[in-house]
Chain A
Amino acid sequence: KQEVTQIPAALSVPEGENLVLNCSFTDSAIYNLQWFRQDPGKGLTSLLLIQSSQREQTSGRLNASLDKSSGRSTLYIAASQPGDSATYLCAVKSGAVDSSYKLIFGSGTRLLVRP
């Protein structure tokens, strides 16, 4: 059974710092991996999607990498800003046929960027 873990559960950094959020998964047979952002009281917004054949995806100050063999993904945020404060979740879509439409979510990392 696929399990997704995000450590740490919470992170506080000063503005301007570059930071890395971690996501690990137990079954390397994945189809893709997504990183989401969730603001308090709001829904999730998909930030980046990495297909299993890809190593990384970039969008602005965000860069997500994927290493299937080690069961890890990282989300790199460059030059962090207070507006980046939110909870970041990763989700894995398993490569198993019977779970084609199911994402397994981590519990998220709550990020606070201090001015």
Chain B
Amino acid sequence: NAGVTQTPKFQVLKTGQSMTLQCAQDMNHNSMYWYRQDPGMGLRLIYYSASEGTTDKGEVPNGYNVSRLNKREFSLRLESAAPSQTSVYFCASSEPRTTNEKLFFGSGTQLSVL
């Protein structure tokens, strides 16, 4: 059972380059999320998708776009990378409004923008 799968695991970009982080889950969850984790700042929500076909901004959406391709897949795109976007990115999924709506995380993407 794979759970939440993220690709790539590592990426180095130059300022101004673009890239897409891919995420897929096989738990039939309705909700999916993208977080970034920075030292001393905990995890901050970038975007989320409550269900297939919907996306909403989180706490730190500037510089990012997302696509909920289908129920399984939720991608995060950096159109023009900036050094401030150097971070570890996590995708997560859950089935909200149930008695056990635990959040399941992928293993993360470590992104460096030079």
* Chain A interface residues toward B at CB < 8 A: 4, 32, 34, 36, 41-46, 49, 51, 89, 91, 100-103, 105-108
Among B4, B45, B104, B107, contact of A102 (Cβ-Cβ < 8 Å): B45
The answer for the CA separation of A36 and B106 in the assembled complex, in Å, is 13
Cβ contacts under 8 Å, B106 to chain A = 43
18 further interface pairs, Cβ-Cβ under 8 Å (given A36-B103, A46-B104): A42-B107, A42-B108, A43-B108, A44-B103, A44-B105, A46-B102, A89-B42, A91-B43, A91-B103, A100-B50, A100-B97, A101-B33, A101-B56, A101-B96, A102-B45, A105-B43, A106-B42, A107-B42
In the assembled complex, the CB of B39 is this many whole angstroms from the nearest CB of chain A, namely 9
Q: Is the CB of A49 within 8 A of B105?
A: no
Cβ contacts under 8 Å, A108 to chain B = 42
Which interface residue of A43, A100, A103, A107 has the most chain B CB atoms within 10 A? A43
Identity of the chain A residue whose Cβ is nearest the Cβ of B91 in the assembled complex: A43
Query: Does B101 reach chain A (CB closer than 8 Å)?
Result: yes
Q: Is the CB of A46 within 8 A of B103?
A: yes
Among A36, A45, A49, A89, contact of B101 (Cβ-Cβ < 8 Å): A49
* Chain B interface residues toward A at CB < 8 A: 4, 31, 33, 40-45, 48, 50, 56, 58-59, 90, 92, 96-97, 99-108
Among A4, A32, A41, A45, contact of B105 (Cβ-Cβ < 8 Å): A45
Identity of the chain B residue whose Cβ is nearest the Cβ of A100 in the assembled complex: B96
Q: Is the CB of A103 within 8 A of B90?
A: no
Among A4, A45, A107, contact of B41 (Cβ-Cβ < 8 Å): A107
The answer for the CA separation of A10 and B50 in the assembled complex, in Å, is 34
Q: Is the CB of B107 within 8 A of A43?
A: yes
Among A44, A89, A100, A102, contact of B58 (Cβ-Cβ < 8 Å): A102
Q: Is the CB of B99 within 8 A of A51?
A: yes
Q: With contacts A32-B101, A49-B100, A49-B102 known, is A105 near B42, CB below 8 A? A: yes
- Please list the 3 inter-chain residue pairs (A to B) with the smallest Cβ-Cβ separation, ordered nearest first: A43-B105, A46-B102, A105-B43
Cβ contacts under 8 Å, A46 to chain B = 102-104
The answer for the CA separation of A91 and B45 in the assembled complex, in Å, is 12
In the assembled complex, the CB of A109 is this many whole angstroms from the nearest CB of chain B, namely 12
